[in-house]
Chain A
């Protein structure tokens, strides 16, 4: 019993930072509809800034003053990000802004590395709160007790701000209908900036407050991101009481998980999220998301059409050039282009789901890594011939996608996206922790292709044929009756249902198909590398694909492939620089601002403007 109480107290103390970061994210999403991937980075800056300030400022006043100042400093950083990066892209299609925030993550990672160096920093202890107190015989750190008091105070202050002040009323009104708030004379631009400043300051505060417990390191931005998204989704996007409750649930469960079922820690929160979303599809206190109610209906989707003879000519020429690469290129270039082709196929499979299906999957790595692991497991444990394995792996990935899709398709919008992320994390942690079978962190090695495929040149052609055929197949499906039905379900689910299309079934098949195609990419990958590690299943891998699809252009058929080719090429060029993330981040932000419809989409627009291409008649 004593231990039980002590654990609950520890959980509540741990909830502190999680709550602060999550409610900042929730506020920002509610008003601006931006899924701010960079929120973890703001939390990280808060921790580093707090650390530096605590070195300078003396004593208890210095310690607490440093925490407050960190919040203010990060608030200012937030304002800069909002004004310089996000303001130019508010008008872009929904979710495109998250690409810009991804660019911000990269920039902040390198800036933090430049300023504070690569070593983990041990957080200073709070003056006067160094020891423990005994509660029912169990030692509880004094700082935890302080957090237990501070968090509700901040929560109350926020509650007061949101319900009793005009600013709070405006924020809540804008969460529902920001266009109307504008028509009533409120300058949205400043409201957005204000909310961004507040949300960022909370993240910074959260980062500085956890210093005595966790210190500061360069991985904390991504590490907090998953739990924070989970908390926001469980609580209901935009709901502060929801975020508070969810942060407590997750933190307390986590403490118990560590004690009684250590293997569960990585999955626990995702399981909770899945359960909550199954029962309450919009989180504990969230409200239903209605498409377009926030005055953010983008340009109508264009009809798609087969490529013109000119474009086909260009593509055929390009493919011929690729086919000739072994004659002129080095072995290194063959390996690089093989990687690129595989990535293009992977990105195209996500693009199929996202562009044609309108289904935003945040966890597409599950199928890429899934295909790779199915292949690796078959080879390792049953000595299946490589050719057969190569056929079975995508089927395995497709089945995983069908199961995940079957559950996730009950939800829509951001909740759907978050649920796909949760399942991808489940798959990842399963692989990561079931070391006896999957090799855990050490991965599975010696997964080589059949003898005849071993030469780099042969494998290059193998990958070329499969990725090109895969991409063409997806294009073909997009132009088939199935593709029409899928787009109908995307554009107007109700109308599609009314014309006799079983939208759920169509979307599920599309989900499975995209998983299958991702699985082919995964199988190609594992045999080209000879090994596979859990990081092929990670969030970062899913995000890579997501970023690439948006960069290329969601609303153009070629978007995924163009984006993937560009991204790989860029990465290859920049990796030789020490601060390549900084350069890459700045470039991504630049592209997002300069080409809000993605590379392929903006090129098409440019072509139309120059009169090279006829504008479609409606």
Chain B
């Protein structure tokens, strides 16, 4: 569904992604693994073209999106959940959801606020609170809920388990499994291999912006040397 072909991305003069390629098949959860600074978030931003790719191509459902602006890519059904959450802290929970709202899309679930409050019951209680009053875990849920309001076909989920309480991490895993069962395709970036094993089908491992492994998680489990070389213990 999403194909990344030999992309190169830069931050200023720093070459972050080097000829990176991988694909995400429809209906799957693919884990993008790597250490801190390996280029996971840059990969996510490059797919959205928030960081513009210098060369290479990204296609979504067969259509090249490399020359599009981020809002146009979002309109194609790609949802982006940034790692640093970036909720609108001055807006209430409901208003945050309103920003993410898009018309319903063929082939995707049409989310309503009530459905999302069922999915994240904690948010329901805080619907009229401002973003800045939420806890880290609640903010993380709100970013995911906000992106789902766009009725995406595909979600880029950047380190949802980072810096949240273990109980929330468990809840996240459940939510991701549920979204997958409803047909959503997900690219999940993670440092936490354990978390990825709970939900992902395939894994891409990157190191210094280069692809080091692409295959199923089962295969990865049988190759501890790869795991030990490229992922944190």
Residues on A facing B (Cβ under 8 Å)? 166, 169-170, 172-173, 175-177, 179-188, 287, 299-300, 618
Q: Do B98 and A166 touch (CB < 8 A)?
A: yes
Q: Do B88 and A184 touch (CB < 8 A)?
A: no
Q: Do A166 and B101 touch (CB < 8 A)?
A: yes
B150-190 CB mask vs A (1 if < 8 Å, else 0) is 10000000000000000000000000000000000000000
Q: Do B12 and A172 touch (CB < 8 A)?
A: no
Question: Which residues of chain B come closer than 8 Å to A287, judged between CB atoms?
Answer: 90
Shortest Cβ distance from A176 into B: residue: B88
Chain B: residues with Cβ within 8 Å of the partner, total of 27
B193 within 8 A of A: no
* A309 → B minimal CB distance (Å): 26
| Contacts A172-B90, A173-B88, A183-B80 given; does A300 touch B99 at CB 8 Å | no
* A204 → B minimal CB distance (Å): 28
Name B74's contact: one of A170, A172, A183, A299 (CB within 8 Å). A183
Question: CA of A618 to CA of B11 in the docked complex: distance in angstroms?
Answer: 13
* A184 → B minimal CB distance (Å): 5
Shortest Cβ distance from B88 into A: residue: A173
Q: Do A172 and B88 touch (CB < 8 A)?
A: yes
* B101 → A minimal CB distance (Å): 7
B95 within 8 A of A: yes
Question: What are the nearest 10 A-B pairs in CB distance?
Answer: A185-B74, A173-B99, A173-B88, A182-B70, A182-B71, A180-B86, A183-B80, A187-B71, A183-B70, A169-B95
B110 within 8 A of A: no
* B62 → A minimal CB distance (Å): 20
B82 within 8 A of A: yes
* A380 → B minimal CB distance (Å): 54
Question: Which residues of chain A come closer than 8 Å to B86, judged between CB atoms?
Answer: 177, 180
Q: Do A169 and B71 touch (CB < 8 A)?
A: no
Q: Do B99 and A169 touch (CB < 8 A)?
A: yes
Name A618's contact: one of B13, B71, B95 (CB within 8 Å). B13
Question: CA of A188 to CA of B101 in the docked complex: distance in angstroms?
Answer: 15
* A255 → B minimal CB distance (Å): 34
Question: CA of A187 to CA of B48 in the docked complex: distance in angstroms?
Answer: 14
Q: Do A185 and B150 touch (CB < 8 A)?
A: yes
Question: Which residues of chain A come closer than 8 Å to B99, judged between CB atoms?
Answer: 169-170, 173, 181, 184, 186
Question: CA of A603 to CA of B13 in the docked complex: distance in angstroms?
Answer: 20
| Contacts A173-B91, A300-B12, A618-B13 given; does A183 touch B102 at CB 8 Å | no
| Contacts A177-B88, A185-B71 given; does A169 touch B98 at CB 8 Å | yes
Question: Which residues of chain B come closer than 8 Å to A175, judged between CB atoms?
Answer: 90
| Contacts A166-B101, A169-B98, A179-B50 given; does A184 touch B89 at CB 8 Å | no
Question: Which residues of chain A come closer than 8 Å to B146, judged between CB atoms?
Answer: 184
**A181, A185, A186 — most chain B CB neighbours (10 Å):** A185
Q: Which of B35-77 contact A (CB under 8 A)?
A: 48, 50, 69-72, 74-75
**B69, B86, B96 — most chain A CB neighbours (10 Å):** B86
B1-37 CB mask vs A (1 if < 8 Å, else 0) is 0000000000011000000000000000000000000
Question: Which residues of chain B come closer than 8 Å to A170, judged between CB atoms?
Answer: 99
Question: CA of A299 to CA of B91 in the docked complex: distance in angstroms?
Answer: 30
* B82 → A minimal CB distance (Å): 7
Could you pull out 17 A-B pairs where Cβ atoms are within 8 angstroms? A169-B98, A170-B99, A172-B90, A173-B88, A175-B90, A176-B91, A177-B86, A180-B86, A181-B99, A183-B71, A183-B80, A184-B71, A184-B99, A184-B147, A185-B71, A185-B74, A185-B75
Name B12's contact: one of A185, A188, A299 (CB within 8 Å). A299
**B12, B71, B95 — most chain A CB neighbours (10 Å):** B71
Q: Do A185 and B102 touch (CB < 8 A)?
A: yes
Question: CA of A123 to CA of B71 in the docked complex: distance in angstroms?
Answer: 46
Question: CA of A187 to CA of B80 in the docked complex: distance in angstroms?
Answer: 15
B136 within 8 A of A: no
Q: Do A183 and B98 touch (CB < 8 A)?
A: no
Question: CA of A173 to CA of B50 in the docked complex: distance in angstroms?
Answer: 17
Question: Which residues of chain B come closer than 8 Å to A172, judged between CB atoms?
Answer: 88, 90-91, 95
Question: CA of A177 to CA of B85 in the docked complex: distance in angstroms?
Answer: 11
Question: CA of A170 to CA of B96 in the docked complex: distance in angstroms?
Answer: 9
Shortest Cβ distance from B69 into A: residue: A182
* B176 → A minimal CB distance (Å): 20
Question: Which residues of chain B come closer than 8 Å to A179, judged between CB atoms?
Answer: 50, 70
Q: Do B71 and A186 touch (CB < 8 A)?
A: yes
Question: CA of A183 to CA of B95 in the docked complex: distance in angstroms?
Answer: 16
List 10 other contacts, CB 8 Å, given A180-B88, A185-B75: A172-B91, A173-B91, A180-B82, A182-B71, A183-B48, A183-B71, A184-B146, A185-B71, A185-B102, A186-B99
Question: CA of A227 to CA of B88 in the docked complex: distance in angstroms?
Answer: 31
Question: Which residues of chain A come closer than 8 Å to B98, judged between CB atoms?
Answer: 166, 169
Question: Which residues of chain B come closer than 8 Å to A169, judged between CB atoms?
Answer: 91, 95, 98-99
Shortest Cβ distance from A298 into B: residue: B12
Question: Which residues of chain A come closer than 8 Å to B101, judged between CB atoms?
Answer: 166
Question: CA of A181 to CA of B98 in the docked complex: distance in angstroms?
Answer: 11
Question: Which residues of chain B come closer than 8 Å to A618, judged between CB atoms?
Answer: 13
Question: CA of A287 to CA of B72 in the docked complex: distance in angstroms?
Answer: 31
Question: CA of A182 to CA of B71 in the docked complex: distance in angstroms?
Answer: 5
Question: Which residues of chain A come closer than 8 Å to B12, judged between CB atoms?
Answer: 299-300
* A478 → B minimal CB distance (Å): 22
Question: CA of A176 to CA of B82 in the docked complex: distance in angstroms?
Answer: 15
| Contacts A170-B99, A300-B12, A618-B13 given; does A188 touch B90 at CB 8 Å | no
* B162 → A minimal CB distance (Å): 18
Q: Do A184 and B13 touch (CB < 8 A)?
A: no
Shortest Cβ distance from B102 into A: residue: A185
Q: Which of B125-162 contact A (CB under 8 A)?
A: 146-147, 150
* B123 → A minimal CB distance (Å): 17
Shortest Cβ distance from A187 into B: residue: B71
Question: Which residues of chain B come closer than 8 Å to A173, judged between CB atoms?
Answer: 88, 91, 95-96, 99
Question: CA of A172 to CA of B91 in the docked complex: distance in angstroms?
Answer: 8
Question: Which residues of chain A come closer than 8 Å to B71, judged between CB atoms?
Answer: 182-188
Question: CA of A300 to CA of B10 in the docked complex: distance in angstroms?
Answer: 13
Name B82's contact: one of A181, A183, A187 (CB within 8 Å). A183
Question: Which residues of chain A come closer than 8 Å to B96, judged between CB atoms?
Answer: 173
Question: CA of A177 to CA of B143 in the docked complex: distance in angstroms?
Answer: 13
Question: CA of A185 to CA of B152 in the docked complex: distance in angstroms?
Answer: 11
Q: Do A176 and B90 touch (CB < 8 A)?
A: yes
